[in-house]
Structure 1
Amino acid sequence: MFKLLLIEDDSTLFQEIKERLTGWSYDVFGISDFSQVMQEFTMINPDLVIIDIQLPKFDGFHWCRMIRSHSNVPILFLSSRDHPTDMVMSMQLGADDFIQKPFHFDVLIAKIQAILRRVYNYNTEPVALKTWCGAAVDFEKNTVSNDKGMVELTKNEIFILKLLVEQKNKIVSREDLIKSLWDDERFVSDNTLTVNVNRLRKKLDGLHLGQFIETKVGQGYIAREESNTYDA
């Protein structure tokens, strides 16, 4: 598990990003004392640093200089400022990438994965775990969890959810779902498919996710992905 140090003083934004990254199997740490960033950096020894520019005590550029004087750990900057010089400055200080706020989480995770693959020559694509609408979907444990709790799914339910989530925001036909379940030696008739999808929705309702599985009459089903854009 990669260790990520998120140097962000906005506690709400920090928690939102931490929850999403934890769902991707990253171990996320924060800073408790912004006058002691280097001490905490040394203690945590992260594999990647994500750092905001506007911070208390000293700005992100200062801490980037300090980190670079001791380590070659990859650094990804976040910034709510729109100064073009911010990106230039961050790169000159040795940052690996830069994201302008507001940003979509998919962009953040893509940049993190690209950096980790490049620096550590490691395939960061999780095999058994995916995130969907802010929830962690574990295909090995057959569970879905978010801040509302956790639900356990049957084999058929997790298999259906897997097919839908892997093609989120796209319609998956009833025929394709049934064929995939047949190929997996779990024959599901058209009526049984409807029952399984309804049971899946009912369980997901406990996590406030049921509405994101939509029925497209005469076509099939679609797993919607809610928008997650961070402005802070």
Structure 2
Amino acid sequence: MKIMIVEDERTIGDMVAEALGKWGFETVQVEEFDQVLQLFVRENPHLVLMDINLPAFDGFYWCNQIREVSKVPILFISSRNTPIDMVMSMNMGGDDFIQKPFYTDVLVAKINALLRRTYSYMGTSLNVIEHDGILLSLNDGHILSGEQKAELTKTEFTIMKILMQHKGTVVTRKKIMRSLWEDESFVDDNTLTVNMTRLRKKLAELGKAAFISTRKGEGYIIS
């Protein structure tokens, strides 16, 4: 199983990764602490070790971001030891808490217990598509880019979903309209143009104006 380590103290991160490696776990360590959610979506880990004190945003923020797209177990690791920190860890969606300094054997025991509890009756529920810094939530139909978020209409969501599922491939207007009809969004060619314009405007507001390209006479593509 894969463990994602969100720890900005490299010595501690390397120590934990080495210990987990000896127990047969695959590990991935965060390098860019403003891209935690993007790395999570890309790596799709089975469990996250989350420090609280982090650059840019704290562990509570990233826990909340991950909870928008997944129920994967999150174990907080922190030098903080006040009751309020432990309570906040649980209230923000964390599953357990271990205080620094800790014995790696105790950490591994907590990890194994969380994994047994979680995956004995469920799997990860990662309902997100990611490409080039844009995340599309399949749960509630919004797009994310860093801290920014945009809500999509049902039609815009369907267009975005089909394009992201076929990234790197030109999708014809006919195929998009057929998908919209199957989704009971009855559109004609002009309606598709209007919705594509609105979708591109929302992407531009997230700093991704060129995310969708037009191939004249062919269709649209996310490169």
- Please report the TM-score for the alignment, with normalisation by the length of structure 1: 0.53
> Offset of 1:15 from its aligned partner?
1.1
Deviation readout 1:34-53 (Å, 9 max, x if unpaired): xxx98659988989xxxxxx
Pick closer, same or farther for the CA change 1:67–1:179 going to 2, 3 Å. same
> Offset of 1:200 from its aligned partner?
0.5
The CA distance in 2 between the partners of 1:152 and 1:31, in whole Å, is 29
The CA distance in 2 between the partners of 1:197 and 1:67, in whole Å, is 52
Match of 1:67 in 2: 104
> Offset of 1:69 from its aligned partner?
6.6
Deviation readout 1:15-44 (Å, 9 max, x if unpaired): 1441314667986623649xxx98659988
1:206-221 correspondence to structure 2 within 5 Å: 206-221=205-220
Is it true that 1:15 corresponds to 2:33 in the alignment? yes
> Offset of 1:191 from its aligned partner?
2.2
Deviation readout 1:172-223 (Å, 9 max, x if unpaired): 1211111111111212212221221111101110001231111111111112
Match of 1:124 in 2: 124
Pick closer, same or farther for the CA change 1:140–1:124 going to 2, 3 Å. closer
SS of residue matched to 1:192:
helix
Pick closer, same or farther for the CA change 1:31–1:218 going to 2, 3 Å. same
Give the number of aligned pairs.
Answer: 161
Match of 1:52 in 2: none
SS of residue matched to 2:168:
coil
> Offset of 1:162 from its aligned partner?
0.7
| More contact order relative to length (CA 8 Å, sep ≥ 6) | 1
The CA distance in 2 between the partners of 1:39 and 1:177, in whole Å, is 48
8 Å CA contact 1:213–1:221 kept in 2: the answer is yes
Alignment gaps of 5+ in structure 1: 48-62, 76-115, 225-232
Pick closer, same or farther for the CA change 1:154–1:28 going to 2, 3 Å. farther
SS of residue matched to 1:210:
coil
The CA distance in 2 between the partners of 1:153 and 1:38, in whole Å, is 36
8 Å CA contact 2:203–2:211 kept in 1: the answer is no
Pick closer, same or farther for the CA change 1:209–1:38 going to 2, 3 Å. closer
8 Å CA contact 1:157–1:200 kept in 2: the answer is yes
1:180-219 correspondence to structure 2 within 5 Å: 180-219=179-218
Alignment gaps of 5+ in structure 2: 11-29, 55-75, 96-101
8 Å CA contact 2:141–2:157 kept in 1: the answer is yes
Is it true that 1:154 corresponds to 2:153 in the alignment? yes
> Offset of 1:14 from its aligned partner?
3.9
Pick closer, same or farther for the CA change 1:38–1:201 going to 2, 3 Å. closer
Pick closer, same or farther for the CA change 1:197–1:159 going to 2, 3 Å. same
The CA distance in 2 between the partners of 1:150 and 1:177, in whole Å, is 24
Match of 1:178 in 2: 177
8 Å CA contact 1:171–1:220 kept in 2: the answer is yes
The CA distance in 2 between the partners of 1:14 and 1:20, in whole Å, is 10
Percent of counterpart pairs with the same letter? 30
The CA distance in 2 between the partners of 1:28 and 1:153, in whole Å, is 32
